């Protein structure tokens, strides 16, 4: 930005006057009350809307006799010529020159809109302009006297940190919302008091099954209860028959594993009997042989006895046949007969023994035959019972199927056990009771499941909000770190620049400057020792502060000019020369506007554009 | 704050929160989605100004991962 002209209308002590400003150094030279500071104020006011002296009402800058005052500034920025007017009544107008005519670009009375326009178009901000471009009378002492918090605020404004702090504050507000939400979710979690054990599910299933039976039974009862009752009774009868027959069937197989085992035994016995079929004949033959032998023995005994009687009688002749008795021959015959008789006895004994054996065998066979008959009878009984059972079972199955179709289960599966005997009223009462119980359990289950779902959602929400809180904590910490980094990134070059100017002006010896420790206030270390700014001389403070301003202008940006209001005030001759040198060096890069009423300065700045002021002006 | 400083600030901020996540164990549970939501909320507030951005909007941005 290159200043070209200051235009004043009923502003301060000026009624209507323009002041041309040139490139390089512009010296506004005049005595006290000639309006030098008013010109400085006019530039500052036009650009910022505020008086350069803090806490002064803008309206006070107008001509006391006028209703309002207007300050204007003609300048070149970005290759274009602009004319900016600002009235003490807050109206702001920006014009740009187009083909020797002025087009109005902006005309507004809103402060914010004007600030935004100036910042966007020309990068002008109040604090930045005050600190990097203007040096007003007594400013350095005010700056030094400022509280640390105030300087920190200025620093934050300059670096845009105030915006970051505002963002952080928003994150903190957001964290409060998240905390509230977390509290709400925790209270909700506590209110759920969930019991994870599912105690109702099994009971519900049981009651549903029972209710189904009862309802089916109730339906059957209401249709043809008499028939069903008869069927049930018949079914019970049949079942009893089956039970009895099964018992008898089991008795028939008593002692055997199964019917096959019984059949196998029968076959074995039959085979044994077949093997002993000729026992009777053999025994008969033995009996006959025994009888014959006994007869022969008896006959032989009779012969022997007769012959012995004859021998013992002494008769010479046989009384039967009257033949002569030959005793020796008769004796020999007796002996032979005795011998024969003995043989027959032996044979008889053998036969008797055989007969005894055969008799026993026969008895055994007969026992087997009896056993066979018994087993065959049992097999027949088994077969018969099996057939009977099958027949009854078929009928029972058909009946059970019919009953099942009517909802009547087997007696043993019927939980109540009295379905068929329940009358309709009892059934209805039971059904109602079970339904109520079921409804209650289902309601409890629904509530439990609802609570479970709600708790799962609440847990999920709690985890999510926990993450959000962590995110916000990170967001705030990130801003703190960003502020630190920004300060380092911006203030470090400012410190280097300040060093550069301090060295250039040869103000002190070996100097180290820290702008971060005291929030922008330079902390000096001269020749290795900390040096309080308060202990510097007035001129040292002035030069240091000017160097600081230039350093900040370098780093933060500057409109391209400096306005120094009476910078040599209270400086001795040597320091005035130094200041003039400083201004000349500054003018090599910047447009400089200086006010003074010091002839040494006027002499020192010879060649500068001179704006002479008088009290009459 | 001019746009270049704004962009520079945003870049610094992104770097800083990434560094914090890497350094601090307690932030390990946060993933790229959360990181992106934080950066988006920061940028949204920085560009629009705290007067226009309500805390509830930021909460929605970060909690619901909504777009700004």
**A447-460: pLDDT as tens digits:** 888 888 888 888 99
B10 — contact with chain A (CB < 8 Å)? no
pLDDT higher than 60, residue A87: yes
pLDDT, average across residues A249-268: 87
DSSP run (H or E) holding A17: strand A14-20
Decide if B50 and A176 are in contact by the 8 Å CB cutoff. no
If you search the block for the tokens 């940006």, which residue do you land on? Answer: A557
pLDDT, average across residues A599-607: 93
| 3 state DSSP class of A10 | strand
With a CB cutoff of 8 Å and minimum separation 6, the contacts of A446 are: none
Count of pairs with CB atoms under 8 A, one residue in A, one in B: 98
If you search the block for the tokens 């902390």, which residue do you land on? Answer: A523
Q: Determine the pLDDT at residue A584.
A: 93
A464 — contact with chain B (CB < 8 Å)? yes
Exposed, middle or buried, A276 (CB in 10 Å: 0-12/13-18/19+)? middle
Would you kindly state where each structural domain of chain B is located, as residue ranges? Answer: 3-63
Decide if A170 and B13 are in contact by the 8 Å CB cutoff. no
* Mean pLDDT of chain A, nearest integer: 84
Q: In b/e form, how buried is each residue of A116-147, taking b as 16+ CB within 10 angstroms? A: ebbeebbbbbbbbbbbbbbbbbebbeebeebe
Decide if B56 and A177 are in contact by the 8 Å CB cutoff. yes
Nearest-CA neighbor of A566 among A32, A75, A23?
A32
Lowest mean pLDDT among A25-29, A513-517, A566-570, B23-27: A513-517
B28 — contact with chain A (CB < 8 Å)? no
User: Residue A45 — pLDDT band, cuts 50, 70, 90?
Assistant: very high
Task: Write the pLDDT tens digit of every residue in A583-596.
Answer: 999 999 999 999 99
Strand-pair category, A561-565 with A134-135: parallel
A515 — contact with chain B (CB < 8 Å)? no
How many whole angstroms separate alpha carbon A321 and alpha carbon A340?
Answer: 24
How many whole angstroms separate alpha carbon A78 and alpha carbon A69?
Answer: 28
Both tokens assigned to A596: 């003074």
Task: Write the pLDDT tens digit of every residue in A529-547.
Answer: 888 777 788 888 888 888 8
Q: Determine the pLDDT at residue A415.
A: 44
User: Residue A614 — pLDDT band, cuts 50, 70, 90?
Assistant: confident
Decide if A481 and B62 are in contact by the 8 Å CB cutoff. no
Decide if A166 and B37 are in contact by the 8 Å CB cutoff. no
Instruction: Give A171 to chain B, closest Cα distance, Å.
Output: 7
Decide if B63 and A178 are in contact by the 8 Å CB cutoff. yes
Instruction: Give A588 to chain B, closest Cα distance, Å.
Output: 27
How many CB atoms lie under 10 A from the CB of residue A58?
18
Is-contact A184 A415, C-beta < 8 A?
no
Is-contact A480 A561, C-beta < 8 A?
no
Q: Determine the pLDDT at residue A412.
A: 45
Q: Determine the pLDDT at residue A58.
A: 66
pLDDT, average across residues A487-513: 82
Q: Which residue has better confidence, A390 or A508?
A: A390
Q: Determine the pLDDT at residue A418.
A: 44
How many whole angstroms separate alpha carbon A560 and alpha carbon A276?
Answer: 148
* Mean pLDDT of chain B, nearest integer: 85
Instruction: Give A479 to chain B, closest Cα distance, Å.
Output: 7
CA dihedral (A153, A156, A162, A164) in degrees, to 10, reads -140
Strand-pair category, A2-11 with A70-77: antiparallel
Distance from the first to the final alpha carbon of chain A: 28
Decide if A160 and B6 are in contact by the 8 Å CB cutoff. yes
Would you kindly state where each structural domain of chain A is located, as residue ranges? Answer: 221-413
Half-sphere exposure of A561 (CA within 13 A, CB side): 24
Ranked by mean pLDDT, which of A191-205, A306-320, A361-375 comes out on top? A361-375
User: Residue A198 — pLDDT band, cuts 50, 70, 90?
Assistant: low
pLDDT higher than 90, residue A392: no
pLDDT higher than 80, residue A616: no
User: Residue A501 — pLDDT band, cuts 50, 70, 90?
Assistant: confident
pLDDT, average across residues A137-157: 77
Query: In A506-598, which ranges are continuous DSSP H helix?
Result: 538-556, 573-587
Decide if B17 and A474 are in contact by the 8 Å CB cutoff. yes
Q: Determine the pLDDT at residue A416.
A: 46
Task: Write the pLDDT tens digit of every residue in A312-327.
Answer: 887 777 777 777 778 8
How many whole angstroms separate alpha carbon A290 and alpha carbon A358?
Answer: 13
- ipTM score of complex: 0.95
**Which residue, among B31, B63, B68, would best test binding to A if mutated, counting the most A CBs under 10 Å from its CB?**
B63
How many CB atoms lie under 10 A from the CB of residue A224?
12
Is-contact A593 A563, C-beta < 8 A?
yes
- CB-CB neighbors (< 8 A) of B1 in chain A: 160, 163
pLDDT, average across residues B30-49: 90
CA-atom Rg of chain B in angstroms? 13
For residue A120, what is the nearest residue in chain B, using CA coordinates?
B2
CA-atom Rg of chain A in angstroms? 71
- CB-CB neighbors (< 8 A) of B16 in chain A: 478, 481-482, 485
DSSP letter, residue A62: B
How many CB atoms lie under 10 A from the CB of residue A213?
20
A125 — contact with chain B (CB < 8 Å)? no
Query: In chain B, which ranges are continuous DSSP H helix?
Result: 3-23, 32-48, 55-63
How many whole angstroms separate alpha carbon B6 and alpha carbon B10?
Answer: 6
pLDDT, average across residues A47-59: 77
Q: Determine the pLDDT at residue A510.
A: 78
Decide if A160 and B9 are in contact by the 8 Å CB cutoff. yes
B59 — contact with chain A (CB < 8 Å)? yes
Q: Which fold has domain A221-413?
A: Methane Monooxygenase Hydroxylase; Chain G, domain 1 (1.20.58)
């Amino acid at each position: 930005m290159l200043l070209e002209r200051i235009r004043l209308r009923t502003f301060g002590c000026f009624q209507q006057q323009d002041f041309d400003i040139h490139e390089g150094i512009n010296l506004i030279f005049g005595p006290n009350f000639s309006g030098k500071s008013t010109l400085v104020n006019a530039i500052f006011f036009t650009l910022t809307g505020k008086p350069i002296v803090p806490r002064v009402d803008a309206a006070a800058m107008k001509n006391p006799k006028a209703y309002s005052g207007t300050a204007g500034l003609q300048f070149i920025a970005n290759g274009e010529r602009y004319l900016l007017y600002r009235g003490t009544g807050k109206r702001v107008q920006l014009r740009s020159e187009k083909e020797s005519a002025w087009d109005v670009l902006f005309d507004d009375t809103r402060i914010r809109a004007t600030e935004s326009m100036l910042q966007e178009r020309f990068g002008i901000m109040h604090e930045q302009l005050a600190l990097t471009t203007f040096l007003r009378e007594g400013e350095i002492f005010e700056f030094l006297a400022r509280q640390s918090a105030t300087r920190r605020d200025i620093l934050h404004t300059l670096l845009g940190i105030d915006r970051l702090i505002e963002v952080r504050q928003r994150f903190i507000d957001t964290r409060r919302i998240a905390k509230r939400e977390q509290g709400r979710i925790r209270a909700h979690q506590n209110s759920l008091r969930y019991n994870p054990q599912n105690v109702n599910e099994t009971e519900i299933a049981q009651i549903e099954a029972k209710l189904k039976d009862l309802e089916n039974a109730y339906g059957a009862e209401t249709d043809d209860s008499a028939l069903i009752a008869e069927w049930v009774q018949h079914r019970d009868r049949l079942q009893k028959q089956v039970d009895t027959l099964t018992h008898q069937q089991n008795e028939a197989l008593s002692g055997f594993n199964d019917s096959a085992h019984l059949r196998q035994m029968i076959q074995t016995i039959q085979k044994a009997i077949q093997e002993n079929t000729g026992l009777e004949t053999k025994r008969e033959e033995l009996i006959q042989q025994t009888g014959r032998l006994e007869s022969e023995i008896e006959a032989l005994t009779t012969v022997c006895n007769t012959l012995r009687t004859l021998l013992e009688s002494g008769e010479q002749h046989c009384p039967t046949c009257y033949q002569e008795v030959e005793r020796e021959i008769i004796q020999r015959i007796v002996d032979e007969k005795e011998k024969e008789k003995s043989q027959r006895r032996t044979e008889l004994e053998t036969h008797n023994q055989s007969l005894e054996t055969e008799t026993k065998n026969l008895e055994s066979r007969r026992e087997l035959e009896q056993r066979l008959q018994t087993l065959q009878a049992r097999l027949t009984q088994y077969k018969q019972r099996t057939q009977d059972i099958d027949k009854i079972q078929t009928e029972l199955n058909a009946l059970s199927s019919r009953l099942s179709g009517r909802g009547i289960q087997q007696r043993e599966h019927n939980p109540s056990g009295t379905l068929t005997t329940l009358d309709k009223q009892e059934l209805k009462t039971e059904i109602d009771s079970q339904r109520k119980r079921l409804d209650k359990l289902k309601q409890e289950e629904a509530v439990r499941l609802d609570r479970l779902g709600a708790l799962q959602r609440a847990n999920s929400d709690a985890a999510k909000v926990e993450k959000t809180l962590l995110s916000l904590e990170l967001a705030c910490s990130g801003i703190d770190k960003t502020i630190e980094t920004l300060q380092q990134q911006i203030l470090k070059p400012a410190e280097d620049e300040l060093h550069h100017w301090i060295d250039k002006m040869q103000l002190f010896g070996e100097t180290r400057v820290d702008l971060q420790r005291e929030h922008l206030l330079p902390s000096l270390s001269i020749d290795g020792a900390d040096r309080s700014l308060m202990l510097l001389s007035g001129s040292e403070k002035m030069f240091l502060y000017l160097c600081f301003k230039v350093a900040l202008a370098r780093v933060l940006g500057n409109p391209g000019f400096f306005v120094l209001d009476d910078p040599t005030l209270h400086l001795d001759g040597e320091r005035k020369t130094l200041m003039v040198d400083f201004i000349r060096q500054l003018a090599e890069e910047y447009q400089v506007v200086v006010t003074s009423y010091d002839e040494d300065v006027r002499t020192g700045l010879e060649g500068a554009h001179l704006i002479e002021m008088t009290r009459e002006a | 704050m001019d746009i270049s400083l704004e962009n520079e600030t945003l870049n610094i901020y992104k770097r800083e929160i990434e560094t914090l996540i890497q350094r601090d164990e307690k932030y390990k549970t946060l993933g790229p989605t959360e990181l992106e939501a934080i950066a988006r909320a920061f940028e949204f507030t920085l560009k629009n100004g705290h007067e226009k951005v309500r805390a509830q909007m930021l909460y929605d941005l970060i909690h619901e991962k909504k777009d700004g």
